[in-house]
Amino acid sequence: MPFKYKKKETSRTRSNLDLSVIRNAICDIDKGNSIRGVALEYGIDRNTLRNYLRDRSKLTKITEKGSQFKTSLIFTIEEEKALVDYVLTCSKMNYGLTRQAAMKLAYEYATINSKKVPDSWTSNNCAGKDWFRGFMTRNPELSLRTPEATSLSRSTTFNRKNVADFFDNLKEVRERFKFEAHNIYNCDETGCTTVQECPKVIVSKHVRQVGQVTSAERGSLVTVCFAVNALGNVIPPFFIFPRVKYNESFVASGPPGSQGDSYPSGWMTTKSFVKFMEHFVKYSKASVQNQVLLILDNHESHVNIEVVKYAKLHGVTLLTLPPHCSNKLQPLDVAIYSSLKARYNSAMNNWMVSNPGRTVTIYNIPGFVSTVMSQAFSQSNILSGFRKTGIHPYNPDIFTDEDFLCFSVTDREMTGELQQQDVSSIAFPSVAAELPPDLNMIELPSSSTVQRQSEPSTSASVFMNETVASRANSPSILIGEESEQAIAILGKSAEVASTSQDLEMTTVDYDSRQKPKIVLPQMIRPFPKAAPRKSLRRGRQPGKTKILTKTPEKLDQDDDAPTSKKIKITKRNKKVKQRKRL
């Protein structure tokens, strides 16, 4: 049978009947009317009415999806919705589930809730491929995608504290200097190589290995520094070539007004960034009378006393972003560089096709940038970048609770503030305080009465977290003795056996129409949570957002003070001299 059945044009069209229509038709038949007459009156097929008359229990299985709803589904709509919400929450925390992990979770979810599953699920200890395919089809908001590698520092540094500090500094400088849109700039570097990423090409289906010509195996890197303002304008780029000496002919094919510098590795240095600042002041027309705000990251070439002195002398206010937050707070990274890289690769691939037998050199890169710059740096893209980051228009509340979910994984108390924790809080880490409001515990409206013996503990509140507050009719969750049985299925009963008496009990009186209780996915597999800190942080303190031109004295001291690397080299040289003397 095909996975996605396509109905033939000549096949009979099935009608979706409401539950009320079918019940009214059956009531008329019970009153003595003929099946043929009722079928003609209500427009229902006679065989359909006969089926419902033989087995009236089918009437209770009709849901909002209509009479054609497949009763063979393993999970109910509410249970599957809870599973969907759990999967989406894990993905927003940057701990998304793979296909195999989701299938295994579905099997455990069905087993704990005493669902009837196929024999193949039990033998493989995971759900089947057919169920997963149907699960993805029934929930179009889900998609199986390859995630972008995100470091732990980038995931955890983007938190409310760092973002609030940045917007406080931004508000301070905007109120002090009254910056307008054309005076608010953002600059950042990106790398352009001589080897393109191969696009998809058309080949035969039976070919296993497909090749595409590139200019080299690895290629050379050229750093390009761009600057854009909140009005949608861009200044000419600044190139850093991997050469010892720079020549003006390097940027001859680049955009008009381009400048450059050289460094053996092709990376940005303090010396090169000072030259970029001269280039920036020239095209932004910054001066003491015309103050300009420049937002940049915390790279060591930017946070330097020479750069700060030059910026302050020419009326440029430097505001740094929080560390590892450029993917969320930097307009160039948010809305422009992805488009630039895609168009740059396309332009390079077209050049390789048009010039067979030739290789791309670093002197061709400015020409590629010039070709795609007008499209990548469009005014709509630039304005979108400043708007999405909340820089202009100024919007400190641009980020929601979901954007900070990844920080909740490592949001822990320090060692001095840790309190005595029981085993239950370790076995089931609580993340309810960091989850968005729609994941908090809710009261379930029903005709039943809930009698609580005492307030639930912190560890028990994890079990009572509903994944979506809008699902008002969802079943209650298991706690107390039934939760022990659920954990025992996963082989974790030993971890919580000693704490079964600590869990607060909640008794629920159900009427005959109440749905059975279920175990939510976060009970089976708790949301990721880091262990408590073992010791206080020592050594180098993490960076933070700063207004560099506001405190140049501290930078003077930091610049004059010897770095740890210099101290180590000095000590090592002294030891070498002492050994030679001996």
Which residue from 245, 238, 278 is spatially nearest to 262, judged by alpha carbons?
A: 245
SS3 186: strand
Evaluate whether 185 touches 292 at the Cβ level (below 8 Å). yes
Task: State the Cα–Cα distance between residues 510 and 529, nearest whole angstrom.
Answer: 34
At 264-275, the pLDDT tens digits run 999 999 999 999
The DSSP secondary-structure symbol of 224 reads: E
| 501 Rama class: left (phi>0) / alpha (psi -120 to 50) / beta | alpha
Residue 221: predicted pLDDT = 93
Task: State the Cα–Cα distance between residues 349 and 197, nearest whole angstrom.
Answer: 8
Half-sphere exposure of 324 (CA within 13 A, CB side): 13
Q: Which CATH superfamily includes the segment(s) 153-197+218-408?
A: Ribonuclease H-like superfamily/Ribonuclease H (3.30.420.10)
Q: What average pLDDT does range 208-234 have in this prediction?
A: 93
Strongest mean pLDDT among 71-75, 294-298, 409-413: 294-298
Q: What average pLDDT does range 98-106 have in this prediction?
A: 95
Label residue 427 by pLDDT band (50, 70, 90): very low
Instruction: Enter the tokens of residue 300.
Output: 């060591």
At 525-559, the pLDDT tens digits run 899 888 877 665 555 666 788 898 886 545 543 54
Instruction: Enter the tokens of residue 1.
Output: 């049978």
Residue 530: predicted pLDDT = 84
Instruction: Enter the tokens of residue 429.
Output: 């880490």
Contacts for 336 with CB less than 8 Å, ≥ 6 apart: 226, 228, 376, 377, 381, 382, 385
Look at residue 390 and tell me whether its pLDDT is greater than 60: yes
Q: What average pLDDT does range 273-283 have in this prediction?
A: 96
Look at residue 337 and tell me whether its pLDDT is greater than 90: yes
The domain ranges of the chain are: 19-64, 77-138, 153-197+218-408
Q: What average pLDDT does range 239-253 have in this prediction?
A: 95
The total of other beta-carbon atoms located within 10 Å of residue 126's CB is: 20
Label residue 408 by pLDDT band (50, 70, 90): confident
